Chains A and B, each alone.
Chain A
Amino acid sequence: MTTLLDVSALVRRFGGITAVNKIDLAVTAGEFVSIIGPNGAGKTTLFNLISGLDRPDSGTVQFAGETVTGLAPDHIAARGLARTFQHGRVFANLTVRENVLIGAHTRQRAARWPALPIGAALEFVAALIRPTWMRDEQELLDQEVRDILGIFGDRLLPRIDDPAHSLSYANRRRVEIARALALKPKLLLLDEPTAGMNQTETAEMKALIGELKRRGQTILLIEHKLDLVMQLSDRVVVMDDGIKIAEGPPQVVRHDPAVIEAYLGHPTLGAAEKVVAAEAS
């Protein structure tokens, strides 16, 4: 198996706080890895560092065999990395179809022309002339968008031409995932895909992510709903205060005292032991 993502000794400080502290993380192609940890543990900062939205103070990120540390996010995306955002960031005034098409941006021929003034100018001219190949390409992408939206049953397809701001919160989260899939990512980063969803919606999202896993999609997931994490993950990484405090198969991590401590508090007064004892009984 090839290592798709290799993060080593990554550090990011904000003022006096070290949000990400010497994190090592590797993801193999086809693997499903989850990152859990309390609020403020540095999980989203880690995602920002991997996807290029933020630059690390030290450490490296390797993706698909290349060092991508410090590259701009659009370059990293073009190499096959897609992510969703914790609070859902859809393009509010674009329709569902257009939102998903943006996901396919880097796969459009004209958009790949080198960013020199010439490439950009040609892209502009092509947009005005709209040659046959461009129309064919757009038609193909359009079909692809329908296929992707089909994964969500009839949640999104009937609303394909509605602007994203008119969608329910859960539907906006789905659009985000659809947009990420349109990039045909080698690695998919999901940041709390079920945040703010009710139980039915969460169950549906769990089934969907499970389906993506079955299709062989490599996924790195941040999630608070631990039953989802425990059922789907091949491996779980636990972060607290910017540090990786545990890593391993779900069932092992679940019973790791350090993890219980991170979630329930420091066992100074022996409380966590009591809880563990209570659970065992």
Chain B
Amino acid sequence: MHSPTNTALPEPLLALDHIDTFYGAIQVHFDLSLEVGRGEIVCLLGGNASGKSTTMKIILGQVQPKGGTVTFAGEAITGLATPKIIRRGVGSVPEARRLFGAMTVRENLLMGAYLRSDRATVAEDLERTLDLFPRVKQRLDQRAGTLSGGEQQMVAMARALMGRPKLICMDEPTMGLSPLYVERVLELVRDINRAGTTIFMVEQNASLALQIAHRGYVLQTGRVVLTGSAQELLMDPGIRDAYLGGEQAA
């Protein structure tokens, strides 16, 4: 097992320091700082419009913060273009999957390995990844757009794995899935993590996400209002306020 409470490791894999983000005149992040250590599953929780998804976009370079820095594997990546960030070992499972619907599942998976030129090892990885997702294997030559939501989520996760990332960012991986798939997806997240990939996950489904995460941050209108180990957060009454807009937390 990992040591989820040990946040003082010398160098986190990913660190956001004092991020301020604006959309036009609206401030989305207020001095946001968080860290993801190597080997961890960290989840970012929060209600609607709390700034969760924007955090993901900041990490992936799709939105530029007005202030603060993003560090990945010891190097600043603030201001880099998305493909450059991906090249450094970041994988993405975007919100609502965002598969290439008119391409086959196989093509989608190989798009995940777009930046890799080692054909032989990509082929090996494809086999290995498919072993992890037997359902996906059956649908390999189907157009991705024809799959069910749960199957698409599997493909999106497999696609991210194909890039051999150090870190996978997952934006609401359980959104819109049936309860059966929700559990399956979260189990897979845990398996992927155990195989050595660090996971940073944005989730609305707090109670389930905290079951597999080591640590969590709770975001409310762009500020971190709570942080701690998964167990601590699960028991914290404040988390309910963060979601349901209770008076104390406001």
Contact = CB atoms under 8 A, between A and B. Distances in A.
Given A38-B48, A241-B176, A263 B243 contact: yes
A227 B246 contact: yes
Given A266-B205, A266-B208, A268-B179, A227 B247 contact: yes
A279 B24 contact: no
A268 B240 CA distance: 17
Contacts of A264: 205-207, 239-240, 243
A267 B205 CA distance: 10
Contacts of B211: 269, 271
A168 B48 CA distance: 22
A275 B179 CA distance: 19
B210 A38 contact: no
A265 interface: yes
Contacts of A269: 207-208, 211
A265 B208 contact: yes
Interface in B22-51: 23-27, 47-49
Nearest to A270: B207
Contacts of A257: none
Interface string B144-155: 000011000000
Contacts of A199: 250
A278 interface: yes
B237 A266 contact: no
Interface in A139-194: 168-169
Interface string A240-281: 010000000000001000001001111111011011001101
A71 interface: no
Contact of A265 (B27, B149, B207, B247): B207
B190 to A, nearest CB: 13
A17 B205 CA distance: 20
A275 B175 contact: no
A119 interface: no
Nearest to B148: A16
A275 B209 contact: no
B183 interface: yes
B237 A278 contact: yes
B114 to A, nearest CB: 27
A39 interface: yes
A226 B246 CA distance: 7
A116 to B, nearest CB: 43
B245 A225 contact: yes
A254 B175 contact: no
Interface residues of B, number: 35
A165 to B, nearest CB: 11
A279 B245 contact: no
A114 interface: no
B25 A278 contact: no
A275 B243 CA distance: 12
Given A38-B48, A169-B26, A224-B47, A275 B239 contact: yes
B236 interface: yes
Given A271-B207, A271-B210, A271-B211, A279 B25 contact: no
A65 interface: no
A260 B239 CA distance: 12
Interface string B73-108: 000000000000000000000000000000000000
Nearest to A263: B243
Given A40-B176, A271-B211, A265 B246 contact: no
Contact of B235 (A16, A260, A274): A274
A176 to B, nearest CB: 15
A265 B246 CA distance: 17
Given A227-B246, A254-B244, A271 B208 contact: yes
A134 interface: no
B55 interface: no
B207 A267 contact: yes
A195 interface: yes
A227 B245 contact: yes
A196 interface: yes
Contact of B204 (A265, A268, A281): A265
Interface in A193-246: 195-196, 198-199, 224-227, 241
Interface of A: 16-17, 38-40, 168-169, 195-196, 198-199, 224-227, 241, 254, 260, 263-269, 271-272, 274-275, 278-279, 281
Given A16-B149, A271-B211, 18 more contacts: A16-B148, A168-B25, A195-B49, A196-B49, A224-B49, A260-B244, A265-B204, A265-B205, A265-B208, A266-B182, A266-B205, A266-B207, A268-B179, A268-B208, A272-B207, A274-B207, A278-B236, A278-B240
10 contacts: A16-B149, A38-B48, A40-B175, A225-B245, A264-B207, A264-B240, A268-B179, A271-B206, A275-B207, A275-B240
